[in-house]
Amino acid sequence: MKSVEDLLAEGVSGRRVLVRSDLNVPLDGSTITDDGRVRAALPTIERLADAGAKVIVAAHLGRPKGAPDPRYSLAPVAERLGELLGAEVRLAGDVVGEQARSVAASLADGQVALLENVRFDPRETSKTESDRAELAGELAALTADAAGGPGGAFVSDGFGVVHRKQASVYEVARELPAYAGGLVLAELEVLGRLTGEPARPYVVVLGGSKVSDKLAVISALLPKVDSLLIGGGMAFTFLAAQGHDVGGSLLESDFVDTAKRLLDEHGDRIVLPVDVVVAEAMTEDVEVRTVPSDAIPAAWKGLDIGPNSVRRFSEVIAGAGTVFWNGPAGVFELAPFSGGTRGVAQAIVDSDAFSVVGGGDSAAAVRLLGLPEDGFSHISTGGGASLEYLEGKDLPGVSVLEEND
């Protein structure tokens, strides 16, 4: 596929370049609580602007229902992006309407503008291809030069959305000369190492709330890994499959039989918690206990893995050649239940392994818990995209770039 380096070599000065970034940041009201995705998007945007491109950034935030919703406005993102760039980033008040056309047309060389949340337009996520293609055509039109100058281009740099067949990800790459951004290329290179010949032992750490969310990747990875460490809420379905009473812990009863089958087939590779931190409620000031994983009191909820589990997981991680981690070990946002995630993450930092943090809550935990980001070989920006890549699924936003090679 063609890269942003190829585009820069062709020359971008004076050209309008549409960049699809992933700026889906967590907000507390209008305050960004983790700007990791904004910072990750910065290098490609900055390089294009420094080379004289008129940069138009498209992105989404949250899941608005195909209509403007002030809760999901990209205004805080435009402000933060401007701070990081050291220059104003104008926010268009719509996606492809009059304001977007006006802002795009008024850009000077080297300036950056941000379109309003692309998911405010229902065509972005429409299941009808013609709807998506229509929006893609209007996005592409924003890059046109009314004076007949050099045509526009599209740079796909939002790895967190390349697994979606959406207008600003897929169809627009068929409307304009399309290039892979630096972030997308870096993600693909790292994940390629995991699916190729990873250094052994290859250890995968999975957490998060639900087995159902990660069943496909578990099934795909188990034949390939040396150890699969399972924490978070999803561990309780596996503990139930071993015949343990999990009290009031999160349990997906419909998947207990599946978990039992996986344990029967790959039990020598699956490592489960041996103790858990439990409480009667998920609050900051609640009474907590640490109990063996087969002795959870009735009505108490398992909300983190315990210290013995952390030690057990850490021993496996310490000997690893490659580690992929996706999903927290507990409810890390609350101090009483953050020890498991912190302990596992610290073990990865302390190891000599090539380590990849699989985006999403894991990446947020690294920053929230104050762990050194440079302690990991790579922190992905795309949790879902990373998992689908490891499952072996086609990523439409990548495939369409390969078509344009």
Sheet holding 270-271, edge to edge: 270-271, 227-230, 202-206, 322-326, 354-357, 378-379
- Three-state DSSP at 285 gives coil
361 is in an annotated binding site: yes
60 is in an annotated binding site: yes
Residue for token digits 């496909």?
216
Residues near 127 by Cβ (< 8 Å), separated by ≥ 6? none
Do residues 210 and 238 make contact, with C-beta atoms less than 8 angstroms apart?
no
174 is in an annotated binding site: no
Going 181 to 56 to 63 to 25, the CA torsion angle's sign is positive
359 is in an annotated binding site: yes
384 is catalytic: yes
306 is in an annotated binding site: no
15 is in an annotated binding site: no
214 is in an annotated binding site: yes
What does the angle CA 317 – CA 224 – CA 353 come to, to the nearest 5 degrees?
30
260 is catalytic: no
157 is in an annotated binding site: no
Active-site residue, selected from the candidate residues 360, 382, 383, 397:
360
Residue closest to 180 by CA, chosen among 163, 157, 153, 202 = 157
22 is in an annotated binding site: yes
191 is in an annotated binding site: no
371 is in an annotated binding site: no
Written as six digits, the tokens of 111 are: 């300036």
Do residues 130 and 95 make contact, with C-beta atoms less than 8 angstroms apart?
no
Active-site residue, selected from the candidate residues 210, 224, 260, 367:
210
Buried b (16+ CB within 10 A) or exposed e, 53-80: bbbbbbbbbeebeeeeeeebbbebbbeb
**Surface-to-core class of residue 197, CB atoms within 10 Å of its CB (0-12 exposed, 13-18 middle, 19+ buried):** exposed
Residue for token digits 């209008």?
30
Calculate the alpha carbon distances from 40 to 34, 80, 356 in Å.
12, 13, 15
333 is in an annotated binding site: yes
210 is catalytic: yes
Q: Please provide residue 206's backbone torsions phi and psi, each rounded to the nearest 5 degrees.
A: -120, 135
24 is in an annotated binding site: yes
Q: Enumerate the H helices of 30-151 as residue ranges.
A: 36-50, 75-85, 98-106, 129-141
Active-site residue, selected from the candidate residues 39, 248, 384, 393:
384
123 is in an annotated binding site: no
DSSP string covering 133-154: HHHHHHHHHTT--TTS-S--EE
233 is catalytic: no
Please state, in angstroms and rounded to a whole number, the distance separating the CA atoms of residues 196 and 200.
Answer: 12
Active-site residue, selected from the candidate residues 37, 165, 301, 342:
37
23 is in an annotated binding site: yes
Which residues are part of the catalytic machinery? Answer: 37, 210, 360, 384
Question: Which residues are annotated binding-site positions for (2R)-3-phosphoglycerate?
Answer: 37, 119, 164
Question: Which residues are annotated binding-site positions?
Answer: 22-24, 37, 60-63, 119, 164, 214, 302, 333, 359-362
Question: Which residues are annotated binding-site positions for substrate?
Answer: 22-24, 37, 60-63, 119, 164
Question: Which residues are annotated binding-site positions for ATP?
Answer: 214, 302, 333, 359-362
